[in-house]
Amino acid sequence: MTPASTDRSTTGVGGIDGILDAGHLAGLSPAALAEEFGTPFFVYDLDLIGRRVEALRAVLPRGFRIAFAVKANPSLAVLAHLRSCGVGADVASGGELETALRAGFDPALIAMTGPGKRDAELAAAVEAGIGVITVESPGELRRLESIAAATARRQPILLRLAVTDDAGLETVRIIGGVEGKFGMPLETLMEAARAAARSEHVELIGVHAFGASNVRDAEQLAAHVSELVGIGRRVAAETGIRLRLVDAGGGLGIPYSDGERPLDLARFGRRLGEMRARWDADEALAGMEILLEPGRFLVGPACAYVARVVDVKGPDSAPVAILDGGINHLLRPALVGSEHRLAVLATDAVRALVRTTVAGPLCTGIDVFTTEAMLPRPRVGDLVAALDAGAYGFTESMPFFLSHPTPVEVAVHNGRAQLIRPRITPAELLDRQINPDW
């Protein structure tokens, strides 16, 4: 691994590739942020998030909509800013639905996806009047029909197609016909579609499939959209419904390592534009909308996780730096085996680069960010930033492990930093527990 470039925010597509620029985070001094908010902390550049939304929107042809995948980052202030940017929300639980509503999203622009929806969650979604619910199984369809029947609203739905996943996390998933956790095989989906088309309580408007995760290949992403539209057309033809919406999911990727190329947005947009032209010439598809659900693409590069070096040991040529935060706050490196770019945010003279191990404070061998980063020789008190931490960072952490304080979250907008999630101490967590008086 190489040290993170200090000018990443000026590279790539339209200056939208990173929060770190010339040693500053979102234009502010890391030392000043640490002094004001303490460490560890997550810091978000809301203006960069807005630029990433606009960069994606600029390449999309007519009839494409964006719904942010809330699972990538459910911070209330981040969601409120995304809502102000004009995107919708994709939620996968009742808690995410409540968060999106509190952030001010128009219910008509909210889609609910995900397996295992409880009846109370489905009822809350119907009651809120959200735009569409993705149905994962015939059983869920029956439960939703019963819930919708008790209201005066006919709930719009999509049916989710099952996909194969032959290689695990963050790899290509190909549309297929297998029974699994997500969605339905095509044959089962067709049976559910015929039942839904007859229903007085749900309104089948299209199909959904999540085709991939963290993909930076424009052709692959476009091919998934094209294939799913073909399946949607078949469903509409065999059930007599009008195909109104195809939800192609997320999957738009970002680089996590130096040398990885970002998604070619212009090429992605050209491929989608070519498909849009063909669809507009097809009476069955001319009025169809496409929903994209990006998560990490919009927020990942706009955030850094910052922790302080509390100990340095080992030889000068191969030091081990121990931080005051680790996988309890940023689990992704250990969970998927993918390192984040690291930067030592030092303000003194340039130091020699040495092969460095960077680890957290937890009593487990997996609490390691890297074992071979070429970084400026660390010193106690240094600040270290893990970049591209805006998606599956705080939200995917395990903050209760070993009873450390939680990190704070800070947002920067128009040059001003503001606390958006305060630190929770172990004492506060203990106050919520009960020691029974037997």
DSSP string for 152-197 = S--EEEEEEBPEE-SS-TTSB-EE----SSSSB-HHHHHHHHHHHH
Q: Is the pLDDT of residue 81 over 60?
A: yes
Q: How confident is the model at residue 79 (pLDDT cuts 50, 70, 90)?
A: very high
Peptide bond connecting 361 to the previous residue in cis, omega within 30 degrees of 0: no
What is the CATH topology of the domain spanning 8-45+300-430?
Answer: Lyase, Ornithine Decarboxylase; Chain A, domain 1 (2.40.37)
pLDDT category of residue 349 using cuts at 50, 70 and 90: low
Catalytic residue among 167, 352, 363, 427: 363
Q: What is the C-alpha radius of gyration for the chain, rounded to an integer number of angstroms?
A: 23
Domain spans in the chain, listed from the N-terminal domain onward: 8-45+300-430, 114-292
**397-426 pLDDT per residue, tens:** 898 999 999 999 999 999 999 999 999 999
Annotation marks residue 303 as catalytic: no
Q: Could you give the residue ranges of the DSSP H alpha helices within 216-331?
A: 218-239, 265-280, 296-299
pLDDT reading at 85 higher than 50:
yes
pLDDT tens, 282-313? 999 999 999 999 999 999 999 999 999 999 99
Region 114-292: CATH code: 3.20.20.10
Q: Given this chain, do its domains 8-45+300-430 and 114-292 carry the same CATH topology? A: no
125's tokens: 């979604």
pLDDT bin (cut points 50, 70, 90) of residue 180 is confident
pLDDT score of 34 more than 90: yes
Burial grade of 354 (CB within 10 A; 0-12, 13-18, 19 or more): middle
Q: Is the pLDDT of residue 195 over 60?
A: yes
In whole angstroms, what is the distance from residue 10 CA to residue 13 CA? Answer: 9
Q: Is 11 left (phi over 0), alpha (psi -120 to 50) or beta?
A: beta
